[in-house]
Amino acid sequence: MKISGFVIAGMVVCAGAASAQSRLLVAVKGTQSMAIVDPTSGSVVGTVPEGGTTGHELIASGDGKTAFVPIYGNSGVGKPGTDGDTIVAIDIASRKVTGDVRFNHGVRPHCPLIGPKDGLLYVTTELDKTITIIDPKTLKVLGALPTGQEQSHMAVLSHDGKRAYTANVGPGTVSVIDVPGRKVLKVIKISDTTQRISITPDDKWVFTADQTKAQMAAIDTAKNEVAKWIPMEGVGYGSAVTPDGKWLLVALADQNKVAVIDVKTMQVARTVAVGDYPQEVLVQPDGKTAYVSCSKAGTVSEIDLGSWKTTRTINSGNNSDGLAWAK
């Protein structure tokens, strides 16, 4: 693999640049850019062109200074189109692309994660059937985890850093991966098609959305099998678990709602109306607020998790998708 680019350390923030406070980051596919949102005012305070077509997902470094945006391509998963071969690093304060990782072939890089224990950058590289491991400081590729399946589109890491789980869209499976051993432990059949994935803070449950029925699969990670099917009023998409582990929030794209599932009972407790065609759900680290990207509306819906109401709509940009929190 050819690795290029650089990381700027000790960047001096120019006048007018974003201040060193928490930011909501949004991957805006319609403009091939990253929107930077001030969560206090609910306004976009900056946009950064990614320099590629197009980033779907993004993540912030552990120190909140750098965003990493895999450039997936101009297609949907499993569909014809370009095959992205780049991950860009963006300095959030200066709002500039400061480096990149370039693969020597198309890999369709998609879902980026920061390792909870090692601080490394993990990115799904689905055409290689892998998760690529990258040093976020040097932007050097350190290795890869096999997924054993096509279209390993989204992934989560256990909080102890020992396991990775990928949602493999076309095969309709979830791969269970031993991270230290760099091997697939099991492939769990879910449905003809599955999408997105989330994990509870105690690592006991992994959730993924069946795309053929209005239901979520709850995987018992001790047994690595589907232990429960959770019916919903619409087909699920992106999901996230609250930091206290009590609630699973699921975007219902065809209903313009978010289903709120009680993790203890594995039943839908309520739904919350959001914008048009919700995609991804992100819960703020303090557990008080959730954000939901709504691609057709070009907005992010802000949900108060105390009142369970949408309290604000943020105009983030055309075809908003991936969300990340930069502390």
Residue labelled with tokens 């960047």: 11
- Look at residue 255 in the predicted model and tell me its pLDDT: 98
Binned at pLDDT 50, 70 and 90, residue 92 comes out as very high
- Look at residue 310 in the predicted model and tell me its pLDDT: 98
Binned at pLDDT 50, 70 and 90, residue 98 comes out as very high
Burial class (CB within 10 angstroms; exposed 0-12, middle 13-18, buried 19+) of 10: exposed
Q: What CA–CA distance (Å, rounded) separates 35 from 43?
A: 10
The token duo for 279 is 């995609």
- Look at residue 128 in the predicted model and tell me its pLDDT: 98
- Look at residue 319 in the predicted model and tell me its pLDDT: 98
Phi/psi at 131 (nearest 5 deg)? -115, 120
Instruction: State mean pLDDT over 165-182.
Output: 98
Phi/psi at 86 (nearest 5 deg)? -140, 145
| 176 pLDDT above the threshold of 60 | yes
- Look at residue 5 in the predicted model and tell me its pLDDT: 41
Q: How big is the CA angle at 7 (ends 300 and 16), to the nearest 5 degrees?
A: 55
CB atoms within 10 A of CB 180: 8
- Look at residue 149 in the predicted model and tell me its pLDDT: 98
Binned at pLDDT 50, 70 and 90, residue 2 comes out as very low
Binned at pLDDT 50, 70 and 90, residue 38 comes out as very high
DSSP classification of residue 219 = E
Residue from 121, 169, 116 nearest 147 by CA: 169
- Look at residue 147 in the predicted model and tell me its pLDDT: 98
DSSP classification of residue 199 = E
| 11 pLDDT above the threshold of 80 | no
C-beta separation of 303 from 311 below 8 A: yes
Largest CA distance in the chain: 54
pLDDT tens digits along 127-138: 999 999 999 999
Q: What CA–CA distance (Å, rounded) separates 294 from 315?
A: 10
Whether a cis peptide bond, with omega within 30° of 0, leads into 54 is: yes
**b/e per residue 33-51 (b: at least 16 CB within 10 A):** bbbbbbbeeeebebebebe
Whole-number average pLDDT of the chain: 94
> Could you give the 3-state DSSP secondary structure of residue 292?
strand
Instruction: State mean pLDDT over 47-66.
Output: 97
Instruction: State mean pLDDT over 132-158.
Output: 98
Residue from 91, 136, 95 nearest 113 by CA: 136
The residues near 193 (Cβ < 8 Å, ≥ 6 apart) are 169, 170, 172, 210, 211, 212
Handedness of CA 206, 61, 110, 147 (dihedral sign): negative
Taking the domains of the chain in order of start, what are their residue ranges?
A: 1-146
Q: How big is the CA angle at 68 (ends 305 and 181), to the nearest 5 degrees?
A: 90
Tell me which fold the domain 1-146 belongs to. Answer: Methylamine Dehydrogenase; Chain H (2.130.10)
pLDDT tens digits along 282-299: 999 999 999 999 999 999
Residue from 95, 87, 73, 71 nearest 4 by CA: 87
| 6 pLDDT above the threshold of 90 | no
- For the beta sheet containing 289-294, the strands, ordered from the edge strand earlier in sequence to the opposite edge, are 278-283, 289-294, 299-304, 309-314
- Look at residue 12 in the predicted model and tell me its pLDDT: 31
> Could you give the 3-state DSSP secondary structure of residue 248?
strand
The residues near 1 (Cβ < 8 Å, ≥ 6 apart) are 102, 103, 104, 141
| 248 pLDDT above the threshold of 90 | yes
**b/e per residue 249-285 (b: at least 16 CB within 10 A):** bbbbbebbbbbbbebeebebeebbebbebbbbbbbbe
- Look at residue 165 in the predicted model and tell me its pLDDT: 99
pLDDT tens digits along 189-202: 999 999 999 999 99
Binned at pLDDT 50, 70 and 90, residue 44 comes out as very high
Instruction: State mean pLDDT over 216-244.
Output: 98
pTM, two decimals, is: 0.93
pLDDT tens digits along 106-131: 999 999 999 999 999 999 999 999 99
